């Protein structure tokens, strides 16, 4: 059974598709906007570009009560925009389809293409902010990547949904409206990349997905949120600021990144996985260590061997939800406050940039 909500999306999409044929613009009742390049346009409003990558926010299930096991990335960006006519009261929006996949399938190539397109867009004086729609499972990795690779004061807002577009009480439409409202808000400038779900504004640097199923999944327990939405309008708790030690990496023209693998720490872990990862192409390893980066004796010997023999860069992180990891010995780097998946993104970028030991230390072991 296909829900009526999905049918509404589909008919809006069909109307949007007919634009190319010169048909009337599918604006909701009460709007009298002029049309530019085939889309409605209000000269009094800012311009926000929406880059769509797929995920649950673009997901479609066979019934309105299905909230797992659906197809992520089924709906195109035009359908997402058409489903939220309130957007046109906030901003002029333009959709760019970068990918349409579940977020487990986001690759370095997609991330590089995305950040290069965003940089070009934000470099234009005619764009005030961007929104990225993304699956939530690896959303924190892409948001962190954009935080480190986009150089602009303008807002970069990454948004997802925990329920597919076809679900009863789908959260995608309000999340998208809040994300565009945030991207269009001058008060959102200078805060780095941000994540919007469940009425919260979160900083991309520290925020992580904490629950596989619930709507209030994005959290940073120690560092907290940047703000909250009241009647869809962002209210900030603090003036704009950026995390200490946050570096910038220029990836202009890059088409790939060095491979970095994550090894998970546990009792009786298999020491052979370190050299196996290196043999299959890893230039760096991140260890999700026990406690503050702890690793077994046999495992540590294997880690020291790949550092010494193969020049592998190793970052010690932690499998615990939160904490700070200092270097455990004379080799490798402590991951500081970064969780393993964020330390991996940071290490990929640092290896790409050709960082030497001293620079590596400044990004992972920064002092406040
Ligand atoms: C354009 O946006 C302004 C500011 O929000 C609003 O006052 C005006 O009514 C809008 N114009 C149209 C034609 O919708
Ligand atoms: C847009 O704003 C106008 C004026 O506040 C309001 O009457 C209208 O209902 C809004 N449209 C949508 C779709 O929210
Ligand atoms: C991103 O990928 C699209 C589609 O393949 C391509 O048209 C575009 O030129 C790419 N942009 C950048 C900046 O690499
Ligand atoms: C929005 O984009 C249009 C071009 O489509 C441009 O003419 C206009 O100046 C832009 N508005 C702002 C506030 O930058
Ligand atoms: C890593 O170093 C070992 C010991 O020197 C060597 O046998 C192995 O081929 C190296 N692996 C790679 C991928 O270079």
Instruction: Tell me whether residue 57 is in a domain.
Output: yes
Ligand 1 pocket residue status of 43, Cβ below 6 Å: no
Give the separation between CA 317 and CA 295, rounded to whole angstroms: 10
- Give me the number of domains the chain comprises: 2
Q: In terms of Cα–Cα distance, which of 54, 59, 61, 148 is closest to 95?
A: 54
The yes-or-no answer on residue 56 being catalytic is yes
Residue 311 per-residue DSSP state: -
Which residue is it, tokens 């779900």? Answer: 197
Give the position, in ligand 2's atom list, of the atom nearest the Cα of 89. 1
Q: Please identify, among 166, 201, 236, the residue that sits at the C-terminal boundary of a domain.
A: 236
Rg (CA), the chain: 22
- Same domain assignment for residues 89 and 207: yes
CATH of the domain at 191: 3.40.50.1170
Give the position, in ligand 3's atom list, of the atom nearest the Cα of 120. 13
The active-site residue out of 39, 49, 53, 56 is 56
Give the separation between CA 22 and CA 2, rounded to whole angstroms: 30
Instruction: Tell me whether residue 55 is in a domain.
Output: yes
Instruction: Tell me whether residue 226 is in a domain.
Output: yes
Q: In terms of Cα–Cα distance, which of 221, 269, 248 is closest to 363?
A: 248
- Same domain assignment for residues 156 and 266: no
- Same domain assignment for residues 270 and 332: yes
pLDDT, one tens digit per residue, over 19-71 is: 333 333 456 656 666 666 667 789 999 999 999 999 999 999 989 999 888 98
Residue 192 per-residue DSSP state: -
pLDDT, one tens digit per residue, over 229-248 is: 999 999 999 999 999 989 99
- Same domain assignment for residues 216 and 266: no
Q: What is the pTM of this model?
A: 0.92
- Same domain assignment for residues 125 and 271: no
Ligand 5 pocket residue status of 309, Cβ below 6 Å: yes
146 within 8 A of 158, measured Cβ to Cβ:
yes
**pLDDT mean by block of 10 residues, the chain; 368 residues:** 37 37 48 68 94 94 89 91 94 96 97 98 97 98 98 98 94 98 98 98 98 97 97 98 95 98 98 98 98 96 97 97 81 93 98 93 80
- Same domain assignment for residues 150 and 92: yes
Instruction: Tell me whether residue 298 is in a domain.
Output: yes
Ligand 3 residue neighbourhood (C-beta within 6 Å): 113, 116-117
Instruction: Tell me whether residue 248 is in a domain.
Output: no
**What residues make up the domain containing 328?**
260-364
Ligand 5 pocket residue status of 310, Cβ below 6 Å: yes
């Amino acid at each position: 059974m296909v829900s009526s909500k999905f049918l509404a999306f589909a008919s809006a999409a069909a109307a949007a598709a007919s634009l190319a044929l010169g048909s009337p613009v599918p604006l909701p009742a009460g709007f009298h906007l002029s049309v530019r390049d085939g889309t409605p346009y209000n000269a009094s409003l800012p311009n926000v570009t929406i880059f769509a990558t797929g995920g649950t926010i673009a997901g479609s299930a066979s019934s309105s009560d299905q909230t797992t096991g659906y197809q992520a990335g089924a709906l195109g960006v035009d359908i997402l925009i058409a489903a939220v006519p309130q957007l046109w009261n906030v901003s002029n929006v333009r959709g760019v389809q970068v990918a349409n996949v579940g977020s487990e399938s986001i690759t370095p190539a997609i991330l590089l293409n995305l950040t290069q397109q965003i940089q070009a867009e934000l470099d234009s004086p005619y764009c005030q902010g961007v929104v990225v729609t993304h699956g939530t499972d690896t959303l924190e990795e892409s948001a962190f990547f954009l935080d480190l690779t986009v150089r602009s004061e303008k807002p970069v807002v990454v948004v997802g949904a925990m329920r597919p577009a076809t679900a009863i009480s789908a959260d995608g439409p309000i999340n998208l409206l809040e994300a565009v409202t945030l991207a269009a808000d001058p008060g959102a400038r200078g805060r780095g990349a941000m994540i919007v779900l469940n009425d919260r504004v979160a900083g991309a640097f520290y925020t992580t997905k904490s629950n596989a199923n619930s709507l209030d999944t994005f959290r940073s327990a120690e560092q907290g949120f940047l703000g909250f939405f009241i009647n869809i309008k962002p209210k900030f708790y603090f003036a704009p600021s950026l995390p200490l030690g946050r570096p910038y990496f220029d990836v202009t023209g890059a088409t790939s990144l060095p491979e970095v693998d994550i090894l998970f720490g546990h009792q009786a872990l298999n020491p052979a996985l370190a050299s196996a990862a290196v043999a299959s192409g890893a230039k760096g390893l991140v260890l999700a260590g026990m406690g503050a980066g702890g690793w077994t004796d046999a495992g540590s010997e294997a880690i020291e061997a790949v550092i010494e023999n193969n020049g592998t860069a190793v970052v010690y992180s932690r499998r615990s939800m939160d904490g700070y990891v200092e270097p455990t010995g004379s080799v490798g780097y402590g991951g500081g406050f970064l969780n393993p998946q964020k330390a991996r993104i940071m290490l990929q970028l640092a290896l790409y940039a050709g960082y030497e030991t001293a620079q590596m230390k400044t990004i992972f072991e920064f002092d406040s």
